Structure 1
Amino acid sequence: MGDALLEIKELHKRFDTAKGSVQALHNVSLSVEEGEFVTVIGPSGCGKSTLLRIIAGLDSGYAGSVRLGGAEINGPGIDKGFIFQEHRLFPWLTVEKNIASDLPLGSKEVRRKVDALIELVRLKGFEKAYPRELSGGMAQRVSIARALLRNPKILLLDEPFGALDAFTRAHMQDVLLDIWRTNKTTMIFVTHDIDEAVFLAGRVVILKPRPGEIRKVIRVDLPYPRKKATQSFQDLRLKVLSEFESVEELQLTDGAGI
């Protein structure tokens, strides 16, 4: 493991709504090391997506400190890649042009990077295809390639596989791990799926119900590639599940919103 790339200290976030002020995050402190893969799970409404948006520089008005590479985050930038739940591709552009985005494909350097990313996300042969001609999993692979084009320091993924069927989701998990191992990109991945959280990550962060607060961080000391049917995987899954069920009990006891 390397030095801490992301440092979150005593993060608090409130939203003002028509019904009053809502505390979304409370006293969140977390360090993520360079090259680490971290998954975040917790009940709906616990602030997982809000946390990602703050790290991405897409949300402000919080108390506390969020630093990337030693510098305070004060807005979006090319050093932070963000993958949404839906692919958000430009329907009028081909795969290769979606990946290049606003950069010219006529540039030899851009073309080299786009071609390498197409190979990395397993889309060779689909360079000229349009989003309407792609499956959901293929479209998300284009989104991931686009986010990686400018070599971000960190890639933030907000339930990117949630809408996919089980087979495609498993395939996408393998693809993402290939990308992570190849590029050594630091990743933070939000999910509701416990199997997915354990399968992907070196650490699983479990958030309490609103206001979101870290209940537990569980290290996943399993070698890659991981097999979900093994006893060691199931043991860790049960450990995470036990903590998650305790969080859900807290939610019911406290009457927190979902």
Structure 2
Amino acid sequence: MLEIESLNKTFAAPSGPVVALRDIRLTVGRGEFVTFIGPSGCGKSTLLKIVAGLDTVYEGSVKLNGERIGGPGIDKGVIFQEPRLFPWLTVEKNVAANLSLRNPEVRKRVGELLELVRLQGFEKAYPRELSGGMAQRVAIARALLRNPDILLLDEPFGALDAFTRSHMQEVLLDIWQRSKTTMLFVTHDLDEAVFLGQRVVVMNPRPGHIRSVLDIDLPYPRSRTGASFQELRALVLGEFEKVEKGPAVDVGAGI
């Protein structure tokens, strides 16, 4: 469904070119949930922007459903750390975005999505009246409006408190299981990566590249306190610790 081959991304800087991503190779199947973890500066967000079509200047091949990604489109939904809602619009109008709620099909779809994200009864509320978790659920509903093939989430729960974050992880898994949408999820939280993903991609920095891809062979729902979860968490932590202790790589190499 998503095929990334020999992806390289270089940024121009006053001190010379900086390699952000080097030789990224990854295939993601339809309906799969993949999480990405790694230290700051390892290129996780840059990779997501390329898949989203927000950055089209790179070397290599990035294809969605066999077609090269050439820019943003309704086949790709994006969720950022901040909900980025329009403060002057109600919840239902934020979800509808540029589509009219006077259209019966749009109104029906918005209603279905608000039920999916557990926000029935808040259709007429404004963003200022919502908690952080509720606002992020509105953003997720908006991203799903046009039935995207893939949903890209860049640390969407990073600004939430621990209780709300845990709740939102449960909500997201429910949305994923019911919508069958492919999800790529970037996080700095190791527990979150293991709790959500069917696979965890561990990335190295300087330049950003994939160190390892670990299968999380646990059924849903998952218990963070279970022995199997803790074993897999330790496995991912071991890979992550190798990333932190690994030698720095010359960012100018390979250009």
Instruction: State the TM bucket, normalised to the shorter chain.
Output: over 0.9
Deviation at 1:18, TM superposition (A): 2.1
DSSP-derived class of the 2:222 partner: coil
Query: Which of residues 107, 112, 117 in structure 1 aligns to 2:108?
Result: 112
Gap regions ≥5 residues in structure 2: none
Q: 1 CA distance for matches of 2:87 and 2:11? A: 34
DSSP-derived class of the 1:168 partner: helix
Contact 2:198/2:215 (CA < 8 Å) preserved in 1?
yes
Deviation at 1:51, TM superposition (A): 0.1
Contact 1:209/1:256 (CA < 8 Å) preserved in 2?
no
Deviation at 1:19, TM superposition (A): 2.4
Q: What is aligned with 1:164? A: 160
Contact 2:149/2:182 (CA < 8 Å) preserved in 1?
yes
The count of corresponding residues between Structure 1 and Structure 2 is 251
Contact 2:91/2:124 (CA < 8 Å) preserved in 1?
yes
Deviation at 1:255, TM superposition (A): 6.8
Q: CA RMSD in A?
A: 1.0
Q: What is aligned with 1:199? A: 195
- The 1:142–1:256 alpha-carbon spacing in structure 2 relative to 1, beyond 3 Å, is farther
**Partner amino acid, structure 2, of 1:69:** N
Gap regions ≥5 residues in structure 1: none
Q: What is aligned with 1:40? A: 36
Q: TM-score, normalised by structure 2?
A: 0.97
Q: What is aligned with 2:87? A: 91
Residue-by-residue CA offset, 1:4-59 (whole Å, 9 max, x unaligned): x0000000000002222110000000000000000000110000000000000000
Does residue 254 of the first structure (1) align with residue 248 of the second (2)? yes
Deviation at 1:92, TM superposition (A): 0.3
Deviation at 1:210, TM superposition (A): 1.9
Query: Which of residues 22, 41, 55 in structure 2 aligns to 1:59?
Result: 55
Q: What is aligned with 1:25? A: 21
Contact 1:204/1:220 (CA < 8 Å) preserved in 2?
yes
Does residue 133 of the first structure (1) align with residue 119 of the second (2)? no
Contact 2:78/2:153 (CA < 8 Å) preserved in 1?
yes
